[in-house]
């Protein structure tokens, strides 16, 4: 599998993270400029932002939780040359689950839907790790 095919889902995931960061920053600045939020109110307590900004903030912070395991796996798969078509398809499915999760998180924030998209991503990523681990140990054993 080509390096670009393996890295494209990673770049989309990174793009999602930056989009959330910029949306959150723009929203925060807008609220500070209009005076809806005072600097003294948020200097020590991030929870004093309006609900909409908290949704963006929480979704942004989520991009540094489960996706970290995705980034590590992609790096290891590239180094060990264990990234094939199945890996790339699963990587896209994982990223799609993260896009859906972020969309739900920053719009309706329906917990049941958000949880379902999260679980789908967890299961895909867990399967990717299991497959990767099996491939590594099978290669080591020479089977």
Tens-digit pLDDT profile for residues 35-55 = 998 898 888 777 789 999 999
Q: CA 24, CA 111: separation in Å to the nearest integer?
A: 20
pLDDT recorded at residue 47: 79
For 117-142, the pLDDT digits (tens) are 999 999 999 999 999 999 999 977 77
pLDDT recorded at residue 40: 86
Sign for the CA dihedral angle at 28, 34, 36, 39 comes to positive
pLDDT for 24 beyond 80:
yes
Q: CA 9, CA 4: separation in Å to the nearest integer?
A: 9
Distances (CA, A) of 51 to 28, 57, 58, 85, 127: 11, 10, 10, 41, 35
How many other C-beta atoms are found inside a 10 Å radius of the C-beta of residue 67?
20
For 80-94, the pLDDT digits (tens) are 999 999 999 999 999
Residue 3 or residue 43, greater confidence: 3
Read off the pLDDT of each residue in 54-72 and give the average, rounded to a whole number.
97
pLDDT for 143 beyond 80:
no
């Amino acid at each position: 599998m080509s390096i670009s095919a393996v890295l494209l889902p990673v770049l989309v995931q990174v793009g999602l993270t930056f989009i959330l960061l910029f949306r959150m920053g723009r929203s925060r600045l807008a609220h500070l400029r209009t005076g809806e939020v005072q600097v003294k109110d948020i200097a020590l307590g991030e929870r004093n932002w309006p609900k909409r900004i908290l949704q963006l903030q929480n979704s942004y912070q989520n991009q540094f939780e489960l996706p970290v395991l995705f980034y590590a796996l992609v790096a290891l798969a590239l180094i060990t040359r264990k990234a094939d078509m199945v890996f790339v398809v699963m990587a896209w499915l994982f990223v799609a689950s993260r896009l859906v999760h972020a969309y739900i998180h920053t719009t309706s924030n329906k917990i049941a839907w958000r949880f379902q998209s999260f679980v789908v991503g967890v299961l895909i990523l867990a399967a990717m790790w299991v497959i990767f681990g099996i491939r590594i140990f099978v290669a080591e054993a020479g089977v």
